[in-house]
Amino acid sequence: MGCATTGTLQNGVYRGEQTSYQIGPVGSDWTPVTVGHQNDLAWHNEAKGAVMHADSDCDPGLDIPLTALRSHLMIGFTEREVVEEEVVPMDGREALRTHFTAKLDGVPRDILLQILKKDDCVYDFGLITPPGPSFDEALADFDAMLAGFTTITGQP
Contact 26, 145 (CB under 8 A): yes
Domain spans of the chain, in order of start: 3-151
Q: Does the pLDDT value for residue 116 go beyond 90? A: yes
Residue 50 vs residue 73, higher pLDDT: 50
Residue 125 vs residue 119, higher pLDDT: 125
- The helix (run of H) or strand (run of E) holding residue 150 is strand 150-151
pLDDT band at 112 (very low <50, low <70, confident <90, very high): very high
The percentage of the chain sitting over the pLDDT mark of 70, rounded to a whole number, equals 92
Contact 97, 87 (CB under 8 A): yes
User: Average pLDDT of 64-74?
Assistant: 88
Contact 30, 44 (CB under 8 A): yes
Q: What DSSP letter does each residue of 73-95 carry, written as one string?
A: HTTTEEEEEEEEEEEEEETTEEE
What Cα–Cα distance (Å) separates residue 153 from each residue in 9, 103, 137?
16, 38, 33
Exposed (0-12), middle (13-18) or buried (19+): which is 61, by Cβ within 10 Å? exposed
Residues 98 and 73: their CA atoms lie apart, in Å, by: 11
pLDDT band at 23 (very low <50, low <70, confident <90, very high): very high
Instruction: Determine the pLDDT at residue 1.
Output: 37
- DSSP class of 30: P
Instruction: Determine the pLDDT at residue 37.
Output: 64
Instruction: Determine the pLDDT at residue 90.
Output: 97
User: Average pLDDT of 65-93?
Assistant: 92
Q: Yes or no: is domain 3-151 CATH 3.40.1000.10?
A: yes
Q: How many residues does the chain have?
A: 156
What Cα–Cα distance (Å) separates residue 59 from each residue in 30, 88, 97, 125, 150?
30, 23, 21, 17, 19
Round the average pLDDT of the chain to a whole number and report it.
89
Residues 108 and 79: their CA atoms lie apart, in Å, by: 9
Instruction: Determine the pLDDT at residue 83.
Output: 95
pLDDT band at 61 (very low <50, low <70, confident <90, very high): confident
Q: Does the pLDDT value for residue 4 go beyond 70? A: no
- Reported pTM: 0.90
